[in-house]
Amino acid sequence: MQAKLAGYFNSHSYRVTRKLTSKVLHYTVLISLSFVFIYPIMYILSQSFMQITDITDATVQWVPKELSFEHYRFAFDKMDYWHSFTNSALSTLGPAFAQIISCSIIGYGFARYQFPGHRILLGLVLFTFLVPPQTIVIPLFIFFGELNWLNTHLPIIVPSIFGQGLRGALFVLIFMQFFRGLPYQLEEAARIDGAGAYRTFMQIMLPLAGPALLVVFLFSTVWHWNDVFQPNLYYMIEEHFNLPQQLAILDTEGVFRVQQAKMMTGGGTLASVPTNYNRNMAGALITILPLIILYSFAQRYFIEGVERTGIAGD
């Protein structure tokens, strides 16, 4: 009996069955985890094409009875999409490019040079990462107000030029971690060839930091695009509003409509259903669509960059 069992476990059919079972479990876990992230997008996409009658119809779950592009047209016009998109691009790409330049220089300095006060300065950088931005709102607002920078993109772009801005300290740490992993022989060879510190960094080290540059650029772009704290603080006229701010206005109008409907009907009726709920979904989708397109093109390079920079999470 034992000989038969041993023969079975060593047989070709057992190895094939084991390999197939392993693949099934592997793909089951991957599909389950993928669904967790894809479900919100699928829900937004489904709801954005529905009419008000589809929401109140219990038989309609995912596929509307009739596709309606009215909500997209309304959200597109109400949000002044192209103007708001331009504002979002300016308040996103400007800081992103500024941070990949400044943070790479700072990270390289901390990673490759030992100078007096090295640990103190690094501790100060980490301290800026730990301090909540809400605690310095008033000093920043007064400071930028005295410079007449309010209602401009300068309060968001200028701090990024000096390695600060949104998550600036984290980006410094990412570059520092990456440059620490490069061999010192590269700099020694450059020094023998007569290259100075600036030339070594610009022509040798920085081109090798492509994966880290891409990771920082994508992180900075996504975080600045979705940020509403700084724009709400510095942009006080609608002419400078970005897409997330316009989406918030669109959603606020929906809340007022619901409250008004409840007051008129006593609640619990069809009129109390938010009439622009679908419009909010359409507005949310066109707000995140540029990020989805960007990530779809940079996905492979982003994954390679994350692996090489040693990032283990958000």
Q: For 1-14, how does the pLDDT look when each residue is reduced to its tens digit (9 = 90+)?
A: 555 555 555 565 66
Q: At what angle do helices 81-112 and 154-161 cross, to 10 degrees?
A: 20
Question: Which one has a higher pLDDT value, 298 or 172?
Answer: 172
- Which residues does 72 contact at the CB level (< 8 Å), separation at least 6? 48, 282, 286
Q: What is the dihedral of CA 87, 90, 95, 98, to 10 degrees?
A: -170
- Mean pLDDT calculated for residue range 241-264: 69
pLDDT for res 88: 94
pLDDT in tens, 81-98: 999 999 999 999 999 999
Tokens of 167: 């998550």
Q: Chain-centre distance of CA 241, in angstroms?
A: 19
- Mean pLDDT calculated for residue range 263-281: 59
Question: Which one has a higher pLDDT value, 187 or 56?
Answer: 187
Q: Rounded to whole angstroms, how far apart are CA atoms 163 and 95?
A: 10
Percent of the chain with pLDDT over 90: 29
User: pTM for the complete prediction?
Assistant: 0.79
Q: pLDDT band at 64, cuts 50/70/90?
A: confident
Phi-psi region of 310 (alpha: psi -120 to 50; beta: other; left: phi over 0): left
Q: Output the average pLDDT for the chain.
A: 82
Closest CA relative to residue 241, chosen from 106, 91, 113, 124: 91
Tokens of 260: 């008004």
Decide: helix, strand or coil at residue 268.
Answer: coil
The letter for the amino acid at 121 is L
Residue 286 has pLDDT above 90, yes or no: yes
pLDDT for res 313: 43
Exposed (0-12), middle (13-18) or buried (19+): which is 25, by Cβ within 10 Å? exposed
Q: pLDDT band at 253, cuts 50/70/90?
A: low
